[in-house]
Chain A
Amino acid sequence: MFEGVFTGLSTALMPFNLMMVVLGCFAGTFIGMLPGLGPISAVALMIPITYTLDPSSGIILMAGVYYGAVFGGSTSSILINAPGCASTLVTTFDGYPLAQKNQAGKALALAAYSSFCGGTVGAIILIFAAPALASVSLSFQSSDYFALMLLGLTSVAAFSGKGQVIKAMMMTVFGLMIATVGNDVITGAPRYTFGKMDLVDGISFLLLAMATFALAEVMMTIMRGKMFSTSETMQPVALSSMKLSLDEVKEVAPTVARSSVFGFIVGVLPGAGATIASFLAYGLERNLAPERLRKMFGKGALRGLAAPEAANNAASTGSFVPLLTLGIPGSGTTAIMLGALIAYGIQPGPRLYVDHPDVFWSVIISMYFGNLVLLVLNLPLIPYISRLLAIPAQILNPLIIFFSIIGVYLVSFNTFDIQMMVFITLLAVGLKMLDFPMAPMLLGFILGGMLEKNLSRALVVSDGSFDFLWNRPLTFSIMSVTLIILLLPWILNLGKQLGTKLLSAAD
Chain B
Amino acid sequence: MSLTKDRFGGLLFLLLSITYGYYAADIPLLPGDKFEPFHAQTMPYWLSGLGVIFSILLIVLKPAPTLESESISNSNLVLMLGLMAFTFAFSVALPWLGFPITTSVFLASSYWLLGERRPKMLVFASVPFALVFWLLLTQVLDVYIAPARLIFW
Contact = CB atoms under 8 A, between A and B. Distances in A.
Interface of A: 52, 162-164, 166-167, 169-170, 173-174, 176-177, 180, 184, 186-187, 189-192, 219, 222-225, 227, 392-395, 397-399, 401-402, 405-406, 409-410, 413, 415-416, 418-419, 421-422, 425-426, 429, 431, 433-436, 452, 455-456, 459-460, 463-464
B37 A463 contact: yes
Contacts of B76: 222-225
Contact of A459 (B37, B83, B95): B37
A189 B71 CA distance: 45
B86 to A, nearest CB: 8
B28 interface: yes
A358 B34 CA distance: 44
28 contacts: A163-B64, A166-B54, A166-B58, A170-B55, A177-B44, A177-B47, A187-B39, A189-B28, A191-B44, A192-B20, A223-B72, A223-B76, A223-B80, A225-B76, A394-B116, A395-B111, A395-B116, A398-B107, A398-B110, A398-B114, A402-B107, A415-B95, A418-B90, A419-B88, A421-B87, A435-B5, A459-B37, A460-B37
A425 B84 contact: yes
B57 A166 contact: yes
A425 B77 CA distance: 14
Given A166-B58, A173-B54, A186-B38, 11 more contacts: A164-B64, A169-B54, A173-B47, A176-B43, A192-B20, A222-B114, A224-B70, A227-B114, A419-B91, A422-B91, A463-B37
B62 to A, nearest CB: 10
Given A174-B51, A189-B40, A392 B116 contact: yes
Contacts of B111: 394-395, 398
Interface string B69-103: 01111001101100110011011101100000001
A455 B107 CA distance: 47
A395 B125 contact: yes
A404 to B, nearest CB: 9
A163 B80 contact: no
Contacts of B61: 166
Contacts of A224: 70-72, 76
A170 B61 CA distance: 14
B50 interface: yes
Interface string B23-59: 1000111100100111110111001001100110110
Contacts of A455: 38, 43
B120 to A, nearest CB: 12
A-B CB proximity, top 10 nearest = A163-B64, A464-B37, A398-B110, A418-B91, A394-B114, A189-B40, A434-B9, A456-B38, A415-B91, A184-B40
B49 to A, nearest CB: 10
A191 B43 CA distance: 11
A167 B37 CA distance: 30
A193 to B, nearest CB: 10
A223 B77 contact: yes
A169 B73 CA distance: 30
B88 to A, nearest CB: 5
Contacts of A222: 76, 79-80, 83, 114
B67 interface: yes
Contacts of B2: none
Contacts of A434: 5-6, 8-9
A435 B28 contact: no
Given A393-B114, A395-B111, A189 B30 contact: yes
A460 B92 CA distance: 46
Contact of A180 (B29, B47, B92, B95): B47
B67 to A, nearest CB: 6
Contact of B44 (A180, A393, A421): A180
Contacts of B71: 224
B115 interface: yes
A82 B111 CA distance: 24
B77 to A, nearest CB: 6
B135 interface: no
Given A163-B64, A225-B76, A393-B114, A186 B87 contact: no
A86 to B, nearest CB: 13
A388 to B, nearest CB: 15
A177 B20 contact: yes
Contacts of A463: 37
B9 to A, nearest CB: 4
